[in-house]
Amino acid sequence: MGLFNFGHILTMKWFAAQTDSMSALTQRLGLPLRGIPNRYASKTFRNGVHPPEHKSETDGLPIKQFPFAPLLVLPTAQHIGAPSKIIVREGQEVVRGQLLAEADGYVSVPLHAPVSGRVRKIANVPTVKGEMAPGIYLEAFPASGQEVLEGEGIDYKTATQDDILQGIQNAGIVGLGGAAFPTHVKLKVPDDKPCEVLMLNGIECEPYLTTDHRVMLEQSEDIFTGIRYLLKSTGAERVIIGIEANKQDAADHLSRNIPEDLPVSVEVVPVKYPQGSEKMLITALLGKEVPSGGLPIDVGVVVVNVATTAEIGRLLPRGRGIQERVVTITGPGVEKKGNYLIPVGTPLRFVLEQVGVADDLSEVYLGGPMMGMAVSDLDISITKGSSGIVAFTEKEVSRTDKIYPCIKCGYCVDACPLSLNPSQLGILAKFEAYDEMADHHHLMDCFECGSCSYVCPSNIPLVQYFRMSKAIVRKRAAAQKEAANV
Amino acid sequence: MFKQTLHISTSPHLKRSIGTDDIMRNVVWALLPTSAFAVFSFGLSVFLLLMTAVAAAVLTEHVLCRLSGQQSTVDDWSAVITGLLLGLTLVGSVIAIALGKFAFGGLGYNTFNPALVGRAVLQAAFPVAITTWHPAFLDGRFSAIPSSTLALPFMEPHYDAISGATPLSAFKFDQVTTSSADLAMGLVSGSAGETCAVLILLGGIYLIARKMMNWRIPVALLLTVYVLSGIVHWFSPEAYPSPSFMLFSGGLMLGAIFMATDMVASPLTPPGAVLYGVLIGLLVVVIRLWGGLPEGVMYAILLANAISPHIDKALQPRVYGTVKKSKAA
């Protein structure tokens, strides 16, 4: 088994080298890259796209501690699920690591103080969605030593499954890849569906972002400790760490450091967006498809992001909560690009002031450029799910955005990783045939990766149509449910 | 600092740089060698013909857009293709744009390939004129314009003296075959752009390499024609032409590569594209071998255009995570 894995990594390396030289060649010839890696590697998923990566700008820069902002903005909804319940009062002094808000129910996580300071105000705070939401303004003590309050640690050797899940929830841990779904919920494996494979997601397919890359290089100890907790809580038999070929150094580093007693293998897959999606990663590594409307556990898999795993390995032994996260700050509009360890709640304005921005700054995205959201207000803050800040200048966004009619070129059909028909869905959305889209064209399967919009030569904002259509379908379903209950 | 206003837009914030106008422009580039060869082999008159066809197509689109109060759409280059394609088979740009494209709602909404609609109307209205061909490589082709060319189809031309039978009609009506090599190189008579298969193929390969053409359509189409006519030829070599003759004669190459692949009027799912190609191939063979016309490419494509939306509907790719073919109605 070990030999097999080793040989496999070698061949993948060779494949990757081939693919790279092929890519370079095709790029020089101005040919699109689609389809070429597939010929060499069986480990992939259907369709997908190859946006320019721009990762080399920051992937060699070690993680640096970011300074503390004088005032932190902490919304209580930093995760999917119920917002946490505030348990501090205005004027109260808190220590770094102290609980500010507790979990409100099962699908919810608590919020810890990222700095020692004073609660200045409990009020509505700005969020990336553009709406105000309940939260806390926390004033940092400038001269404080900022040592962290520790709680009761959890030892993976003696803890039970439930201890670990509870510990993960108590630490306020959510998926750090961007979705910010409470990790303990994801790890709760149902009795009738055993978890066979624990998959660590080190794909980081969003262009520009390099946080997972740096975490894998610098925090491998934490990752392997995290794996011990995850193995116990899921009951998985083996672990696969999936990494894209553009992070070969991280793959090498992790494979060299796998502890003897852990059933871990590292697999390198060809670069293709959106491989970081759970479904795509499972298909690439195991050749299985998650059923439409189902979850990874339906095929015996639980997928956890590498940075989330590292966080579990770091926090649980000491009973700490999340206070900071690694964020890639990059893009042509940023002067001091890099990977920074930034306290949760740091306002974007402070972040950009520290790193410096270009004069013709035009758009700022929270997250990657493919799925991240454009920011309209710099008073919003870094939250647990913020993996990157990408700033574009006028030059990058001043493209002609004339929308042509759909010419049925089929580029979107060849791009959709789920083999949906975005062209057809787009036409249906125009006619507001939302039920038809959901019932006959798998609208609700769309996870909004944006590949269709990326390739559309007519500049049709397909994924935006689908986002709106999905929201309408959900709203209608909720209204129907309500009507049925009355 | 931060005096600028931040703009917002919806994700994705990256965009591949190939636009619809790029695709259309590249199709024009791909047609240029064929057009150049047409001018070379048939002379000055073809040059005038192509210019007229393109100008008429572009002008018609512009005027119709303005008349209907829309912004002119000539900058997407698709009218140039229609004009050029039509010129390479014959004139009729006005009809093509007005009836084949604009009446359906313009680019993106045309059910049929506009150039073929234009040609079909011409063929119905002026059957003799449109199927009268000049022999290729006449001596004075660059200095003189045959009197009938520009007047066609509005007067009775004296075509007997200068017209050459096309290889297809020669075969159909006189049982004369032409060598496939001559056909491939374009050393025969026929419509302006239909003769040199090699140059057409070159244009097609360029577009396929740039991912601006669905390769499945021409491949399926040409294979079907080759295999099917091969079988028929094997059964009765005297009565039916050889498969390579079928492949390189008439408008098949131009049709397979530049007309059947009209993105708007062809299916967009991979299995749909294959079926569509096979269907056209089938129709071409049937019309050519057993129909009343020597050439069937135009009608074959138009018929397939008509059912292309239904092919798309029936042959959706299997959606990720579903077991059987999706029941997309």
- Terminal-residue alpha carbon distance, chain A: 59
Are the C-beta atoms of A177 and A305 separated by less than 8 Å? yes
- Whether A302 and A180 map to the same domain: the answer is yes
Interface of B with A in 185-214 (CB under 8 A): 209-211, 214
Q: Least CA distance to B210: which residue of chain A?
A: A31
Domain boundary assignment for chain B: 21-314
Digit-coded pLDDT (tens) for A257-294: 999 999 999 999 999 999 999 999 999 999 889 999 89
In the structure encoding, which two tokens stand for residue A243, read together?
């990494």
Give pLDDT tens digits along chain B (329 positions). Answer: 566 678 888 888 888 888 888 888 888 888 888 788 777 776 777 787 788 778 877 888 888 888 877 777 777 777 887 777 777 665 556 667 766 676 666 777 777 878 777 777 777 766 655 555 555 555 555 554 444 444 333 333 333 333 444 656 555 555 555 555 565 555 555 555 555 778 888 888 988 888 888 899 999 999 999 999 889 888 888 778 888 888 877 678 888 888 888 888 888 888 889 999 999 999 988 888 887 666 778 888 888 988 888 888 888 888 888 875 444 43
Which residues constitute the domain of residue A436?
411-485
Asked whether residue A246 is assigned to any structural domain, the reply reads yes
Q: Max Cα separation, chain B?
A: 85
Compute the half-sphere exposure of residue A167: CA atoms within 13 Å on the CB side of its CA.
Answer: 28
* pLDDT tens sequence across A354-373: 999 988 888 999 999 999 99
Out of A302, A318, A334, a domain closes at: A318
Does A44 share its domain with A184?
A: yes
Domain boundary among A318, A338, A358: A318
Answer whether A219's CB lies under 8 Å from A144's CB.
Answer: no
Burial class (CB in 10 A: 0-12, 13-18, 19+), A163: middle
Q: How far apart are CA B20 and CA B40, in angstroms?
A: 31
The whole-number pLDDT of residue B3 equals 60
Domain total of chain A: 2
* Domain presence at residue A480: yes
Residues of B in contact with A293 (CB under 8 A): 321
This complex has an ipTM of 0.75
* Closest alpha carbon within chain B to A208: B14
Do A304 and A417 lie in a common domain? Answer: no
Residue A156 distance to chain B (closest CA, Å):
35
Which of B9, B10, B14 best tests the A interface by mutation, with the highest count of A CBs <10 A? B14
Last residue of a domain, one of A270, A295, A318: A318
Q: Please name every residue paired with A174 in a beta bridge, in sequence order, or none if there are none.
A: A182
**A13 lies within 8 A of chain B by CB:** no
A27 close to B (CB below 8 A)? no
Q: Identify whether A352 is part of a domain.
A: no
Residues sharing a CB contact under 8 Å with residue A89, sequence separation 6 or more, in sequence order: A119, A122
Is A26 part of any domain? yes
**Same domain? A309 vs A416:** no
On whether both A304 and A159 belong to a single domain, the answer is yes
pLDDT under 50: residue ranges of chain A: 1-41
Residue B142: what residue type? F
Contacts of residue B275 in chain A, CB cutoff 8 Å? none
B 93-152: CB under 8 A from A: 105-109
Residues A66-69: contacts with CB within 8 Å, 24+ apart?
A: A66/A324, A66/A340, A66/A341, A66/A342, A66/A343, A66/A346, A66/A351, A66/A354, A67/A354, A68/A115, A68/A140, A68/A146, A68/A343, A68/A346, A69/A140, A69/A343, A69/A345, A69/A346, A69/A347, A69/A350
At residue B17, φ and ψ (nearest 5 deg) are -85, 0
Residues of B in contact with A373 (CB under 8 A): 11
> Cβ A289–B321 below 8 Å, yes or no?
yes
Q: Does residue A85 lie in a domain region? A: no
